[in-house]
Chains A and B, each alone.
Chain A
């Protein structure tokens, strides 16, 4: 690849499907158009990330220095619009967390755990030799490729990000955190933190859940330094118990290194060479479930739609010769055009311009039923990019003045509306957000069922979702205007 060419990654890779999503970025399966190689691309929207670009870049470039069959390797990073495309090796077999969820709810058989943990320990040994800490070892981050080989994934970038993130987003990981990570500063721990997490992960793989998982994660985290290390109990081999106890030593200095762990009995005699059959099984199940995800930031939503990005000269008055007269009357001030970045600043996310395009993942959903009165505002109630989970704020965004302004745009809206998919862009979107916000699996299950119900209904009653949303918006409108 040339160093000068600014070929956008979307020209180099063809996106196939969204395979993961998160606050930090959506992950896509894609194909390199020239080599036909399948890759995973993590798309990080920089305009909507609080992270420092410098920090992100530093972490990513550190990844560039790692290459090993034991980890998901970094390929390259590119810029598309305002998103960073981090291209990584693709692991088609999913994660060990999928394995637990789909094949072994009560834990994997010991010989499989021993194989996985052996590979992970080798991977950690490699990482630690490169003076790198993973920071986020857990079943969900242990990936499997199509051949059923184990690879450490999602490290560096996400690890760093998560450790500096705000509390609500980092709730997912406390069960695996080492005591010294909880009580010290980010710089206050070393690679031994990974060893603790490895112990917890071994426990997780054997039993299906990490220790203390029935308690509130924040409480688990705060109590961790005071508590005795968790113990693996039950009908497991002494070797497994010894290994877990070996990792879960509270003082980091007394914890064995990855190198030391390799001589533990539990992973010294591995009988399996891959998990291919399990990977096949997961794949089948995923196909049956029509496993797809809807990205948080659809790729079509671009900030810069044409090359003309600097519009200052049109907006400001930079004439150098003479000061031009400015009208005093407000109404005669040179009007700011509707599509000016300034006028739209806080009213709508710039990303919504592309919202009408159907997201990649679900091309079969029902299409828009023709309607000649676009009664409600498309872009007011669904500020997908605000990242604010509080319903109240979202409602506040539909202020009356905002409303009037938008109304003038109805002609344009009407044109755009043609292809608008209510099921995908509103209902699925909302339920996906709710899924993310759900505290427990039970709630998630209900949300999931609800989504399925909507999909099913739309298939039988086309336009159901549209009318449903229309009614909701009419009602909210009425309530807001005090007609109740």
Chain B
């Protein structure tokens, strides 16, 4: 590794001068080299040679595309390069051989990719449009992340592909392709892996995919009930069994999604399940204050819901006093006035839950109290006052 950096210090412009090429040569030469990786007769020595060539061409391409060469490339030449990159499906080819490439080459690839994504001509993002017309590249990118996990030094590869995916998500059309790809579910699995970098990056990808374009997500992803059910199942696993960071990030992601008004169906399905409530209440007693806070942001929606499902309502009633004790100390040191208002509101809500008056475990008494609980709507007799409050699920 060390030696290569020294090589990289060579003036690349000088190298290119010796090998004058047209812009489309860059694309052609990269693909030519990449194809050599597939050759069955490739020896270890040859492979290293091919790797080095790829790195060199990629560095050259980057210098060209950012206009670092002498003389500076003309806008026409740069346009020509983009066209050539698209026509030869360079990114697709690079991703096919991503694990064969050297560290520097992958990094250059990621840099060129993000530069290309941001390049616009006549108010059009040319590379984005190209990727929309050729969705196989995005699909391969998502699969490359999985392939990377089988490799030695997998974190490096995974992080680089991950960053490319995150770059894509910034563009709505590309995010749509990603949301539609079933491969996205795999990232919930990756997020459970013990390797900190891989699990955190996977959650970054999921968070980005589900929060960058909220309208797209609610209209085209959470419109499907199967997606909702699967999403809840996946995120619950992360909240219950993830590492400290995974728990915090996944709870936060969920909390941010269910308060979005257009994600109504996700919210309704989530907040009406007693199992979900149990999970969230369990998180509220975690030792991490931050996690408690994230969990509270889900819990508040469940409590503020004017039409709680019976099982959810029952759990809250059963834990009424415990919850009141809990909130006596929870979040007292916060300075955030919105949070304090919400906390106050939730305490009132819990306080107004029916109290089970019984001194023994006598069955008749239990039945009486259970009867009370059968009609939760009678307890919260004025849902409209709830709706005006800032913590109600619909208000954001």
* Chain A residues with a Cβ under 8 A of chain B: 1-7, 46-47, 53-54, 57-58, 61-62, 64-65, 67-69, 76-79, 81-82, 84, 122, 129-131, 303-304, 309-313, 315-320, 322-328, 333-334, 336, 340-343, 345-347, 350
The residue among A303, A313, A327, A341 with the most chain B CB atoms within 10 A of its own CB is A341
Smallest CB separation, A120 vs chain B (Å)? 15
Chain B residues near A345: list those with CB within 8 A.
Answer: 289, 329-330, 332
In the complex, the answer to whether A65 meets B286 with C-beta atoms within 8 Å is no
Known contacts A3-B195, A77-B196: A333-B321 contact under CB 8 Å: yes
* Nearest-neighbor residue (CB-CB) of A49 within chain B: B290
Q: List B323-374 residues whose CB lies under 8 Å from chain A.
A: 325-326, 329-330, 332-333, 355-362, 365-366, 369-370, 373
Are the C-beta atoms of B322 and A315 separated by less than 8 Å? yes
Residues on A with beta carbons closer than 8 Å to the beta carbon of B218? none
Q: Which of B5, B149, B355, B373 touches A68 (beta carbons < 8 Å)?
A: B5
Q: Could you list 11 examples of A-B contacts with CB < 8 Å?
A: A3-B194, A67-B103, A312-B281, A312-B282, A316-B285, A316-B315, A323-B366, A325-B360, A326-B356, A333-B321, A341-B286
Output the least CB separation between B238 and chain A (Å).
13
A65 touches B163 (CB 8 A): yes
Give the contacting residue for B373; candidates A84, A122, A323, A333; CB below 8 A: A323
- Distance in angstroms between the alpha carbons of A54 and B355 in the assembled complex: 42
A324 touches B361 (CB 8 A): yes
Cβ distance A84 to chain B, nearest Cβ, rounded Å: 8
Say whether A326 contacts B366, CB under 8 Å: no
Is the CB of B111 closer than 8 A to any CB of chain A? yes
Q: When the two chains form their complex, are residues B287 and A304 in contact, meaning their CB atoms are under 8 A apart? A: yes
Of the candidates B9, B207, B243, B361, the one whose C-beta lies within 8 Å of that of A54 is B207
Q: Which residue of A lies closest to B369 (CB)?
A: A323
Taking a contact as CB atoms under 8 Å apart, the answer to whether B358 and A77 are in contact is no
Report the nearest A residue to B282, measured CB to CB: A312
Contacts of B6 in A (CB 8 A): 69
Query: Given the known A-B contacts A81-B244, A323-B373, A342-B329, are A350 and B2 also in contact in the complex, defined by CB atoms under 8 Å?
Result: no
Q: Name the one of B2, B111, B290, B320 contacting A326, with C-beta atoms under 8 angstroms.
A: B320
Contact B287 A4 (CB under 8 A): no
Q: Which 6 pairs, one residue from A and one from B, show the smallest C-beta to C-beta distance?
A: A312-B282, A6-B194, A325-B358, A345-B329, A3-B195, A312-B285
The interface centre, meaning the residue of A57, A68, A326 with most chain B CB atoms within 10 A of its CB, is A326
Candidates A57, A313, A319; contact of B204 at CB < 8 Å: A57
With known contacts A312-B283, A317-B319, A323–B330 Cβ distance under 8 A = no
Closest beta carbon of chain A to B88's beta carbon, Å: 24
Please indicate the chain A residues that have their CB under 8 angstroms from the CB of B201 in the complex. 57, 61
Interface string of B14-36 (1 = CB under 8 A from A): 00000000000000000000000
CB pair A4 B195 closer than 8 Å: yes
- The reply to whether B282 and A131 form a contact with Cβ atoms under 8 Å apart is no
One of B122-130, B152-160, B258-266, B300-308 at the interface: B152-160
Name the A residues within 8 Å of B322 (CB-CB): 315-317, 334
Contacts of B54 in A (CB 8 A): none
Q: Are A5 and B194 in contact (CB under 8 A)?
A: yes
- Residues B318 and A324 in contact, CB atoms below 8 Å apart: yes
Additional 6 contacts, C-beta under 8 A, given A54-B204, A316-B282: A4-B195, A6-B243, A61-B197, A64-B159, A129-B68, A316-B319
Judging by beta carbons under 8 Å apart, are A342 and B321 in contact?
no
> B5: which A residues are within 8 A, CB to CB?
67-69
Say yes or no: B193 contacts A46, CB within 8 Å. Answer: no
With CB as the reference atom, state the residue of chain A lying closest to B243: A79
Say yes or no: is B131 at the interface (Cβ < 8 Å to chain A): no
Q: Bound state CA distance, A316 and B274, in angstroms?
A: 13
* A3/B329 in contact, CB under 8 A: no
How far, in whole Å, are A62 and B162 apart by their CA atoms in the complex?
Answer: 11
Taken together as a complex, chains A and B put the C-alpha atoms of A319 and B207 apart, in Å, by 34
Bound CA span A340–B318, Å: 19
